[in-house]
Structure 1
Amino acid sequence: MAVRDFDAEIKQLQATMKTIGQVLDLDAMRSEIADLSEQVAAPDLWDNQEHAQRVTGRLSTLNGELERYTSLEERIDDLSVLVELATEEGDDDSLAEAEAELGRIQKSLESLEIRTLLNGEYDEREAIMTIRAGAGGVDAADFALTLMRMYTRWAEQHGYGVEVYDISYAEEAGIKSAEFAIKAPYAYGNLSVEVGTHRLVRISPFDNQGRRQTSFAAVEVVPVLEQTDEIEVDENDIRVDVFRSGGPGGQSVNTTDSAVRLTHIPTGTVVSCQNEKSQLQNKASAMVVLKAKLLALKKAEEAALKKDLKGDVAASWGDQMRNYVLNPYQIVKDLRTGYETGNPQAVFDGDLDGFMEAGIRWRRNSEKADA
């Protein structure tokens, strides 16, 4: 690569970094970090655990974002020095190393740039995901379980926490539905592009004749609410049912009726929680999910964008947003963005960043086109 090419690309990297820094508002970020650091140092911080967790979580997020930006800035400066020295000394090996580092930096910069696109009202929130088996019988139930594993693997790879609220197991294999939270900043912004119907094509392991089967599962995502969010739920509008938690095959998990199901009568919204041993804890967790879903409905109605926010999908033919094909060839392809990979197993193991980044860019371009 010619020296002038290095110079031009490095200048472009620096210009992009400057733009990202302006969008992130680094001065405001540093000011908030200083304020939060003072709060964390207060001796009475943990007198209110919920507040303390919000403060420490926000501080950790901001420190991570600032470190990500400054470290990439330093890498670009180091690259510039490496190119200059390698050029002066005619060191081809160092120039080759610089070329490889340039490619790595460009990839890191693209990922950082995605963060600037997550500026929606709820993008920075944690996310609650619901996965439902659709058409396809036992294969669909098995596929729904695979998708749940895929998203939890993605979260684990990034060091994000996962809290399972409820799982309804299917009789033969897999699950009918599952509800769980991804506890990470910007989880909603990233995962909201996963909303829709996912379609699997494979040789069914449940068909003794080895026939190819097409099955579907629906993914819904809503943001976790904070106390400042305006959503009021009248207790008189909620029906509370308690039941005994159960596992695969109807196996009893608890010997008491600790699982809780909440039904919001005006909208018909139903949520369940059975991950805690205490009925009160399960009710509190279920209320978190219910309020998140009701806010999603409220915002969807106000904006007339029910599909975009709530992800109310049919999980059947004609509604799919991503195909997972394992036979007669292997490919995972997003039908909106065109992004694809020939390694379905890696995707099922949580390699989803490429799909999410493409989805976020696609969403931004769609918003611009509609503006």
Structure 2
Amino acid sequence: MADLDPAEKIKELSSTLASVESVLDLDAKRTEIEQLREQSADPELWEDPDNAQKVTRRLSNLESIVTKVNGIRQRLDDLGVLYELAEAEDDADTRAEADRELAALRKEIGELEVRTLLNGPYDEREALVSINSQAGGVDAADWAQMLQRMYLRWAERHGYPTEIYETSYAEEAGIKSTSFAVKAPFAYGTLRGEHGTHRLVRISPFDNQNRRQTSFAGVDVVPVVEKSDHIDIDEGDLRIDVYRSSGPGGQGVNTTDSAVRITHLPTGIVTSCQNERSQLQNRATAMSMLQAKLLERKRREEKAELDELRGDSVSSWGTQMRNYVLQPYQSVKDVRTGLESGNPSGILDGDIDDFIDAEIRWMRSQEQGPE
């Protein structure tokens, strides 16, 4: 696109946006918006708070999509006028402004194009992200905390609310594990490609001989469960422990045994919550997290069975998915997509959209299989 004149660039972007508009089916979304607005205006809706929240969340999501697409279409139309003005007045500043807007629109339309690929059964859901330190000792615990910060910073950049449910701190530095929710529409579909093992190579700040250390942390992403999900859990399959919440260095967060850990004995899945002061609230949240993890386990098992029936030899995406190298050179590379960046500091500060978009495209290509 670099060799095209502005009018041709705008034409190409307009064509891409038209394809996005077609896939999103904005007319159907506008019809659904009107229906949801009528439902939300009904006072009886709030007699069922769970359903009311579902309706209002869906309405907000649809309005956001339609408003965003309409806004981009309007900006694209205005951009042509801005270039004409710059040409007519031979104004370098206006031309530079138009070039910046063109670049911004190209990025936003690209993001919308990726959004159209998020049509899996749970892609619209909020996400529950869990991070666990793996091999590498204290460096791995520190690495797990760096990853937690990376995802929280990514969410903050986009204005997505987050809620940390549990953090288990390591003795010397970093964390053993953490679980948090990203409370935004399509958070699961957006982040599910982050599932897997993340590998860090650097000079260890905890080694007095300044040796290079490789450490690993596992990231798990599951969709938040909804009322309509059917996950049967036998109480006899659960071990429920209560304990006192602790912070860095083992310091007590509160003075009561309010934190709750639930172990699902048949699968070995463990969930914990310590962010509420009430043991009952923590138990409810931990149970919801367990349901989410069992739901995702069921989805993955069903996919594996389908892959086997199709004769798909790539039934698993593997565990290692991204390498972060800080020494002896600076690089972040995704194992599956091949995307690479020489700016690990930016990546670790939450600038991971390019990696996320590449993963979404790659996952879709794997799920569709060969033509």
- TM (norm. structure 1) is 0.90
Q: Which residue of structure 1 aligns with residue 106 of structure 2?
A: 106
Report the CA distance between 1:86 and its aligned residue.
4.7
Report the CA distance between 1:49 and its aligned residue.
3.6
**Amino acid in structure 1 at the alignment position of 2:136:** G
Residues 73-118 of structure 1: per-residue CA shift (max 9 Å, x gap)? 011111223344555x363634554344322221211111111011
Q: Which residue of structure 2 aligns with residue 332 of structure 1?
A: 332
- C-alpha separation between the residues in 2 aligned to 1:142 and 1:4? 48
Residues 152-191 of structure 1: per-residue CA shift (max 9 Å, x gap)? 1111111111111111111111111111111111110111
> Structure 1 residues 324 and 225 mapped into 2: Cα distance closer, same or farther (>3 Å)?
same
Matches within 5 A, 1:42-121: 42-87=42-87, 89=88, 91=90, 93=92, 94-121=94-121
SS of residue paired to 1:260: strand
Q: Which residue of structure 2 aligns with residue 301 of structure 1?
A: 301
Report the CA distance between 1:257 and its aligned residue.
1.8
> Structure 1 residues 259 and 330 mapped into 2: Cα distance closer, same or farther (>3 Å)?
same
- Answer whether contact 2:50 2:227 (CA < 8 A) is retained: no
- C-alpha separation between the residues in 2 aligned to 1:305 and 1:214? 35
- C-alpha separation between the residues in 2 aligned to 1:140 and 1:259? 24
- C-alpha separation between the residues in 2 aligned to 1:153 and 1:7? 37
- Answer whether contact 1:126 1:185 (CA < 8 A) is retained: yes
Matches within 5 A, 1:245-324: 245-304=245-304, 319-324=319-324
Report the CA distance between 1:48 and its aligned residue.
4.1
Report the CA distance between 1:305 and its aligned residue.
7.1
- C-alpha separation between the residues in 2 aligned to 1:97 and 1:215? 45
Matched, 1:141 2:141: yes
**Amino acid in structure 1 at the alignment position of 2:90:** D
- C-alpha separation between the residues in 2 aligned to 1:348 and 1:14? 34
Residues 316-370 of structure 1: per-residue CA shift (max 9 Å, x gap)? xxx5311111112212121222222222122111111111011111212223334
- Answer whether contact 1:260 1:282 (CA < 8 A) is retained: yes
Q: Which residue of structure 2 aligns with residue 158 of structure 1?
A: 158
**Amino acid in structure 2 at the alignment position of 1:102:** L
RMSD: 2.5
Matched, 1:125 2:134: no
- Answer whether contact 2:193 2:359 (CA < 8 A) is retained: yes
> Structure 1 residues 99 and 159 mapped into 2: Cα distance closer, same or farther (>3 Å)?
closer
Residues 38-82 of structure 1: per-residue CA shift (max 9 Å, x gap)? 233334554444333322222222111111100110111112233
Matched, 1:196 2:199: no
SS of residue paired to 1:230: coil
- C-alpha separation between the residues in 2 aligned to 1:370 and 1:185? 30
Matches within 5 A, 1:199-210: 199-210=199-210
Gaps of at least 5 residues in structure 1 are: 314-318
> Structure 1 residues 256 and 312 mapped into 2: Cα distance closer, same or farther (>3 Å)?
farther
Q: Which residue of structure 1 aligns with residue 32 of structure 2?
A: 32
> Structure 1 residues 90 and 157 mapped into 2: Cα distance closer, same or farther (>3 Å)?
closer
> Structure 1 residues 250 and 99 mapped into 2: Cα distance closer, same or farther (>3 Å)?
closer
- C-alpha separation between the residues in 2 aligned to 1:69 and 1:256? 50
**Amino acid in structure 1 at the alignment position of 2:212:** R
Aligned residues: 362
Q: Single out whichever of 8-17 and 136-145 deviates more from structure 2.
A: 8-17
SS of residue paired to 2:362: helix
> Structure 1 residues 328 and 49 mapped into 2: Cα distance closer, same or farther (>3 Å)?
same
Matched, 1:10 2:4: no
- Answer whether contact 2:33 2:62 (CA < 8 A) is retained: yes
SS of residue paired to 1:102: helix
- Answer whether contact 1:220 1:312 (CA < 8 A) is retained: no
Gaps of at least 5 residues in structure 2 are: 308-315
- C-alpha separation between the residues in 1 aligned to 2:113 and 2:38? 30
- TM (norm. structure 2) is 0.90
Q: Which residue of structure 1 aligns with residue 313 of structure 2?
A: none
> Structure 1 residues 241 and 4 mapped into 2: Cα distance closer, same or farther (>3 Å)?
closer
- C-alpha separation between the residues in 1 aligned to 2:282 and 2:324? 35
Q: Single out whichever of 122-131 and 326-335 deviates more from structure 2.
A: 326-335
**Amino acid in structure 1 at the alignment position of 2:275:** N
SS of residue paired to 2:116: helix
> Structure 1 residues 189 and 247 mapped into 2: Cα distance closer, same or farther (>3 Å)?
same
Report the CA distance between 1:5 and its aligned residue.
3.3
**Percent of pairs with identical residues:** 59
**Amino acid in structure 1 at the alignment position of 2:118:** L
